[in-house]
Structure 1
Amino acid sequence: MHSQALFSSKMIKLFFVLATVLLLAGSQHEAEASDVLAVCVRNCAQCKKMYGEYFEGKLCAEACLKFKGELVPECTDMASIAPFLNNLV
């Protein structure tokens, strides 16, 4: 009987260790996702400063939120900012 209680105790400890690891890994992933989103929005603001009226900063920031930072605009990469440029002619 003692052996079975010891086994159960070890299983409970293992469960708590695994649960803790999973929780920490999940919170790390959330932190990384929010970091990417923050970079995306910051890049939109930087591009707005660089291009002024020619850059749709609000549209860029909305795209960051919609796509959760998956499409990060780079101000010097025309392909990544093309959707947010306008012709003021």
Structure 2
Amino acid sequence: MGSFGLIIALLLIGIIENCICGASIPVCITNCVQCKQMFGPYFQGKACGDACITSNGNLMPDCNNAGTLGNFLKRLY
């Protein structure tokens, strides 16, 4: 009975981990859309979305933090 409970616990931990990690990609893409709305044509929304997907949501853009937007802003000149 003890090993069966351990197997169930490990399966549940794996399922929960997948749910938590998978939730960061939609949040990341939502942030990209929000930044695109804020900065308009000066923000490269597609590049931001592509970076979100390839990094599995680890690259989280913050529209109020210039350090996270440097690669996605177009130059004004």
TM-score range, shorter chain: over 0.9
Distance in 2 separating the partners of 1:82 and 1:69: 17
1:17 aligns with 2:5: yes
| TM-score (norm. length: structure 2) | 0.93
Higher relative contact order, chain-length normalized (CA < 8 Å, sep 6+): 2
Q: Who wins on radius of gyration, i.e. which is larger?
A: 1
RMSD across aligned positions (CA): 1.0
Q: Greater share of helix residues, 1 or 2? A: 1
Following TM superposition, the consecutive aligned residue runs of length 4 or more in structure 1 with deviations greater than 6 angstroms are none
In the alignment, structure 1 segments of 5+ residues that lack a partner are 1-12
Identity level (%): 38
1:60 aligns with 2:48: yes
In the alignment, structure 2 segments of 5+ residues that lack a partner are none
Name the SS of the counterpart of 1:83 in structure 2.
coil
